[in-house]
């Protein structure tokens, strides 16, 4: 329950920040263009707090924190005295109205730059993408990728760390070929390898992008010593403690965490006799892995345990920290990369390179918010930057119910010299609402299937 409450609180905080930023963009540019803003609301439904400023704008924090809006004076919907017509949104020029509408997504892009700028001034822990091994029969093995080489670029784009490399590789989904640049960690020589990715399949619910290519990176090695035990889990009920080292299962000596994981997953509801080392003493316990369904509908066992790790090998981990000017430059570059990736992923959904099964909704976002908030400020800022960019990109899609749809109508108005008819706009809004609701429904079903 505490994890659920933490996730909800983190989700509300993250969404509240991003919605406030988005709506403030509309609000600020509307004010600068002489439009009277009647209401600035964060959330929907019953108002929890409200106040007015000197210009008559009502500011509201409402009960349902799943959106927000800026209500501007508009003489198509509001009775407006002739002397106040110039304060109405619809009386402004097309260019002014376009600026007001575009300001929301632009504010989210600027916030992402700010969050990343702040991160890189504080210092971001990074890890170099060094190949430990490649798996037999994989795409990486076919390309003869050598071990102990650091991947430095993908199709000519630099990748100094694992996080950046991950984003660049995801962006390549659907392509038939990609080129990796690698540097020998000892000799320093640089080589290139081309990967044939015609049959490349990636399921983010089951594997990492590196797993899908058959690349094992140099990472901390999970041990059979327990670092965390989920409350009320089968492991807790069996009497396992943090710090216990599992050495044997059903009389067989364990070779590593992967073997233990396979043993647990393959034996749901079956008793397993385990031997542990606790405070220098050997103890025997019986655990019964509980059964749960995977996203594919298969049953597997789980205990609710998290392993300790061996730590990072020397020379892999480092901290990216910059002065304010350099951090701003990196923030802009990273925001552009996230923007490019977001538009690219939308294209991949449309053309079928990525399945709609991987769309995420509010439950996954809440879990992501809670997890990153619990890790620390840097992780949470990274999450905010990513969601802020996604929010901006989604709002720029040419669906009439979104900012991008309004901009589309205004571009048509700019070309034709007169507005799109209200009937045509109404039809567009209904279609846009249906498409958006369909996508939200798919994302929510995907979230539920992952629980």
Question: Which residue numbers are catalytic?
Answer: 23
Which two three-digit tokens encode residue 336? Answer: 């552009």
Which two three-digit tokens encode residue 112? Answer: 């992402």
Contacts of 359 (CB under 8 A, 6+ apart): 349, 439, 442, 443, 446
- Rounded CA-CA distance 261/303 in Å is 9
Contacts of 197 (CB under 8 A, 6+ apart): 139, 172, 175, 176, 177, 178, 213
- Rounded CA-CA distance 194/154 in Å is 10
* CB neighbours of residue 194 within 10 Å: 10
* CB neighbours of residue 334 within 10 Å: 25
Which two three-digit tokens encode residue 250? Answer: 């059903």
Write the CA distances from 59 to 38, 69, 121, 266, integer angstroms. 9, 11, 33, 56
Helix axis angle for 324-351 and 377-395, nearest 10°, is 50
Cα-to-chain-centroid distance, residue 358: 12
């Amino acid at each position: 329950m505490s994890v659920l409450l933490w996730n909800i609180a983190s989700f509300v905080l993250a969404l509240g920040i991003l919605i406030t930023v988005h709506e403030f963009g509309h609000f600020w540019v509307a004010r600068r263009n002489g439009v009277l803003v009647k209401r600035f609301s964060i959330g929907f439904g019953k108002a929890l707090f409200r106040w007015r400023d000197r210009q008559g704008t009502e500011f509201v924090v409402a009960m349902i924190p799943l959106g927000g809006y800026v209500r501007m004076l508009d003489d198509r919907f509001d009775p407006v005295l002739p002397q106040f017509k110039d304060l109405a949104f619809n009386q402004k020029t097309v260019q002014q109205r376009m600026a007001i509408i575009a300001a929301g997504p632009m504010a989210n892009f600027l916030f992402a730059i700010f969050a990343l700028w702040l991160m890189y001034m504080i210092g971001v822990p990074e890890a170099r993408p060094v190949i430990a091994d490649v798996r037999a029969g994989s795409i990486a093995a076919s390309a003869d990728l050598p071990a102990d080489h650091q991947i430095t670029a993908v199709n000519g784009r630099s990748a100094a760390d694992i996080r950046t490399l991950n984003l660049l590789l995801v962006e390549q989904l659907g392509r038939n070929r990609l080129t990796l640049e690698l540097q020998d960690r000892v000799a320093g020589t640089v080589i290139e390898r081309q990967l044939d990715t015609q049959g490349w399949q990636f399921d983010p619910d089951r594997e990492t992008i590196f797993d899908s290519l058959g690349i094992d990176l140099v990472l901390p090695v999970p041990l059979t010593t327990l670092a965390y035990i989920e409350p009320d889990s089968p492991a807790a009920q069996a009497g396992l403690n943090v710090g216990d080292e599992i050495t044997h299962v059903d009389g067989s000596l364990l070779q590593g965490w992967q073997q233990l994981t396979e043993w647990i997953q393959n034996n749901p509801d079956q008793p397993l006799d385990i031997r542990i080392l606790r405070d220098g003493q050997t103890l025997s316990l019986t655990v019964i892995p509980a059964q749960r369904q995977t996203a594919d509908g298969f049953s597997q066992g789980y205990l609710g345990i998290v392993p300790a790790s061996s730590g990072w090998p020397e020379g892999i981990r480092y901290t990216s920290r910059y002065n304010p000017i350099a951090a701003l430059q990196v923030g802009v570059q990273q925001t552009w990369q996230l923007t490019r990736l977001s538009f690219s992923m939308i294209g991949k959904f449309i053309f079928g390179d990525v399945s709609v099964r991987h769309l995420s909704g509010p439950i996954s976002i809440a879990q992501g918010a809670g997890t990153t908030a619990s890790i620390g400020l840097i992780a949470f800022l990274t999450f905010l930057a990513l969601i802020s960019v996604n929010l901006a990109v989604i709002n720029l899609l040419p669906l009439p119910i979104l900012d991008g749809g309004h901009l589309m109508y205004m571009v048509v108005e700019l070309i034709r010299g007169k507005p799109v008819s209200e009937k045509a706009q109404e039809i567009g809004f209904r279609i846009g609402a249906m498409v958006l609701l369909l996508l939200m429904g798919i994302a929510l079903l995907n979230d539920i299937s992952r629980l």
